[in-house]
Amino acid sequence: MAPGPVEAALRARRDAGGKSLVVYVTGGLGDDWTDTLRAVADAGADAVEVGIPFSDPVMDGPTIQAANDRALASGATPAGILDGLRGLDAGAPLAVMTYYNIAFRMGLERFAASLADAGVSGCILPDLPLEETGPWAEAADAAGVETILLAAPTGEDDRLRRVCERSRGFVYGVGLLGVTGVRDELAASASVIAARLKQVTDLPVLVGVGVGTPAQAVEASAAGDGVVVGSAVVQRMVDGAGPAGVAELVAGFRAALDVG
Amino acid sequence: MGLADPTPDGRFGQFGGRYVPETLVPACEGLEAAFREAWADPAFRTDLDDLLRDYAGRPSPLTECANLSEELGCRLLLKREDLNHTGSHKINNVLGQALLAQRMGKTRLVAETGAGQHGVATATAAALLDMECCVYMGEVDIHRQELNVFRMRLLGAEVRSALSGSRTLKDAVNEAMRDWVATVEGSHYCLGSVMGPHPYPWMVRTFHEVLGREAREQSEALLGAPPDVVTACVGGGSNAIGIFSGFVDADTELVGVEPAGGAAVGRGVPGVVHGMESYLMQDEFGQVLEAESISAGLDYPGVGPEHSYLAASGRARYEAVTDAEVVEAFQLLSRTEGIIPALEPAHALAWVSRARGELAGRSVLLNLSGRGDKDVAQMMEVLRPAEGGGEA
Ligand SMILES: Cc1ncc(COP(=O)(O)O)c(C=O)c1O
């Protein structure tokens, strides 16, 4: 099977000797969230993750929870967010990040088709572990949507291998034991999970959760192929920095990764 | 023959499963293996039985309600889980899980709590077994169940306030799961009902089957046969599944009672949250709705997966009662039998009272899952205006 747009973009970055930057943006947060998304891509993100807010985000810390709640309070819905993405020429492939019940409620096939229809290439469901992925992954495969799986530090090597085999786009290495959020220092487990995943897969390996500064991004991508940055960016959005302010932050990550 | 075991992937029919972040999968697998091994070990079973008898006070009695039976026109029996140490059925599960956690080398218990009964039970077990204990409780519940917050702290537990969402039980579960994601190496998540990812619904049920076994024996000794109807309140569903387990193979009607504002079976559609597929109160987009009930312990938009299965298969039925009916029932049992119930089992009694026509002449066993001490302050507030109105 030919790689999808997310995987192709990240492989291209790697083949050119660079480190990938994937940036998470909460969908429906503020009126200008699609402008922010485009600005993030322009500032050097290789792919953009768009969060569809869920009422009970168990893998998220206070920053993304608050952003979720705010977007929901202002009326964000899955269909509304996908409408915002449809026809948007973001300049980078898009992946949706949400929780399984959002897909389950809409119906797995319908949800997968609506992602494809909105021009979304990939999907991340952090509460859907390998054993429960089957029905969703089949629906996503059929619709041509890349299912990006998380791989955790608690997994044995054999489990990491099986996760990588079923993952599409890239494999999302969880950088620490915990939920999303900026920490003062990068956890030692970030480099360890990247190195362990690199041993078992040729897919791009990105580390996310707890990567909050350009310096941490450089450190976390040394052993792997890049990073996912979420809470730091969402905090900027919540602070009202606007598309330009968020882009400035993202450009800082890009520059640091390019220098290495 | 009791309730059937779940499939190897933790399903009761279509319901159940293990929908947790990757980080927690090895912990759930390890817990399942440890539970299977411990449950098959006579030494573990003896330790647990000894604690249940000498520390928790099992078996709990069965009380026939002469006065109330006359008033309602049925033969009403109560399984007295309110007389257990710590005041509710929750201790059965907690002693089992705490012993298991200790056996697994864990040194810290994490728990969620609604009414505070599960939190108090967990704090109690932690004190007894010298473990650390952290209990998450919604901010709303911290206020309405202040007494239990104080008890937990007195027992040496840390009580953390869940400030997100509806600030009730659902949000306390989210916070407890986030804690566990970060502390999984040394902590055991001591979940308080028959919900969550596999193996919890099955493991928690197994720890509560003791009350169903006792109730079967006691009711048959009294009636010469199993009762016609067995009823219990349903939040996550642990006290109900415990008593149902003793009668599922009998010709007994099983009735779970939910609060009208948290009727997952009555008003929900299948959904996935907190690690399981089950009936769930949610909107058209899949956002979980906030439950609304006078009782903190039942203020939950979901329900354990086995209840969804029992409802879908028709083996049990589920009714909903309003807060006003519950307040009536709370007073009714106090006045007629000298037993102040917790607001949660008052739901089951509210249904019995409403259904007295249907129940006339039949024997009804109600699981009195907890005592009302924790609710007295709240009920003082609720009942004061009515008294001020000069009820003759
Ligand atoms: C006395 C009592 N009964 C019932 C419940 C509800 O839990 P479950 O449905 O798991 O029995 C609680 C929960 O706090 C409780 O304290």
Sheet with B15-19: list strands edge to edge.
Answer: B11-12, B15-19, B275-280, B269-273
Q: Give the span between the Cα atoms of A25 and A135, in whole angstroms.
A: 27
pLDDT on residue B144: 85
Give SS3 for A224: coil
In DSSP notation, B21-40 reads -GGGHHHHHHHHHHHHHHHT
Sign of CA dihedral A90, A9, A148, A63: negative
d(CA B136, CA B392): 43
Contacts of B175 in chain A (CB under 8 A): none
As a whole number of angstroms, the distance between CA B230 and CA B248 comes to: 10
* A20-259: in CATH 3.20.20.70: yes
Nearest CB neighbour to A101, from listed B20, B181, B286: B286
In the reported structure, the alpha carbon of residue B206 is separated from the centroid of ligand 1 by a whole-number distance in angstroms of: 16
Cβ pair B347, B326 in contact under 8 A: yes
- Number of Cβ within 10 Å of residue B44's Cβ equals 17
User: What is the C-alpha separation between B163 and B168, in angstroms, rounded?
Assistant: 9
Judged by CB atoms within 8 Å, which residues 4-33 of A form the interface with B?
A: none
Rounded CA-CA distance B187/B135 in Å is 12
* Tokens matching residue B256: 């779970």
Rounded Cα distance between B325 and B356, Å, is: 13
Nearest CA to ligand 1 atom 6: B235
**pLDDT at position B386, please?**
61
Structural domain boundaries in chain B: 11-52+90-200, 57-88+209-387
Burial of A145 (0-12, 13-18, 19+ CB in 10 A): buried
The reported pLDDT for the residue numbered B164 is 83
Q: Provide residues with CB under 6 Å of ligand 1.
A: B 88, 114-115, 117-118, 193, 233-240, 297-298, 342, 344-345, 369-370
Classify burial at B305, counting beta carbons within 10 Å of its beta carbon; exposed 0-12, middle 13-18, buried 19 or more: buried
List chain A pLDDT tens, one digit each, 260 residues. Answer: 789 999 999 999 999 999 999 999 999 999 999 999 999 999 999 999 999 999 999 999 999 999 999 999 999 999 999 999 998 999 999 999 999 999 999 999 999 999 999 999 999 999 999 999 999 999 999 999 999 999 999 999 999 999 999 999 999 999 999 999 999 999 999 999 999 999 999 999 999 999 999 999 999 999 999 999 999 999 999 999 999 999 999 999 999 999 98
Distance CA(B324)–CA(B294), nearest Å, equals: 9
Nearest Cα residue to B133 out of B166, B164, B97, B167: B97
Neighbour order of strands in the sheet with A20-26: A146-147, A122-124, A94-97, A47-51, A20-26, A226-229, A205-208, A171-174, A149-151
Cα–Cα distances (Å) from B334 to A151, B341, B356, in that order, read 54, 7, 18
User: What is this model's ipTM?
Assistant: 0.97
Q: Do B285 and A102 touch (CB under 8 A)?
A: yes
- How far apart, in whole angstroms, are the C-alpha atoms of residue A101 and residue A83? 19
CATH code given to domain B57-88+209-387: 3.40.50.1100
Answer yes or no: are the C-beta atoms of B268 and B281 closer than 8 Å: yes
How many angstroms separate the CA atoms of B322 and A19, rounded? Answer: 58
Residue B161's identity, in one-letter code, is S
Separation of alpha carbons B112 and B299, rounded Å = 13
Which residues make Cβ contacts (< 8 Å) with residue A238, sequence separation at least 6? A29, A63, A66, A67, A70
Q: Do B285 and A129 touch (CB under 8 A)?
A: no
Residues in CB range of B157: below 8 A, 6 or more apart: B119, B122, B123, B126, B133, B134, B135
Whether chain A has a CB inside 8 Å of the CB on B288: the answer is yes
Cα–Cα distances in Å, from A41 out to A49, A211, B387? 11, 18, 66
Ligand 1, pocket-test mutation among B81, B191, B298, B375, most atoms within 8 A of CB: B298
Residues of B in contact with A100 (CB under 8 A): 19, 272
Q: Given this chain, do its domains B11-52+90-200 and B57-88+209-387 carry the same CATH topology?
A: yes
> Cβ contacts (< 8 Å) between A97 and chain B: which residues?
none
Predicted pLDDT at B61: 98
Residues in B closer than 8 angstroms to A150, CB to CB, are 21-22
Domain-wise residue ranges, chain A: 20-259
Could you tell me the pTM of the whole model? 0.97
Instruction: Measure the CA–CA gap between A245 and A239, rounded to whole angstroms.
Output: 10
CA A172 – CA A126 distance, rounded (Å): 10
SS3 A77: coil
The pair phi, psi for residue A82, each rounded to 5°, is -65, -35
> How many angstroms separate the CA atoms of B175 and B170, rounded?
9
Asked if B27's CB is within 8 angstroms of A151's CB, the reply is no
At residue B41, the 3 state secondary structure works out as coil
Q: Which residues of chain B have pLDDT under 50?
A: 388-392
Q: If you classify domain B11-52+90-200 with CATH, what class do you get?
A: alpha beta
Distance from C-alpha of B136 to C-alpha of B190, rounded to nearest angstrom: 11
CA of B271 to the centre of ligand 1 (A): 22
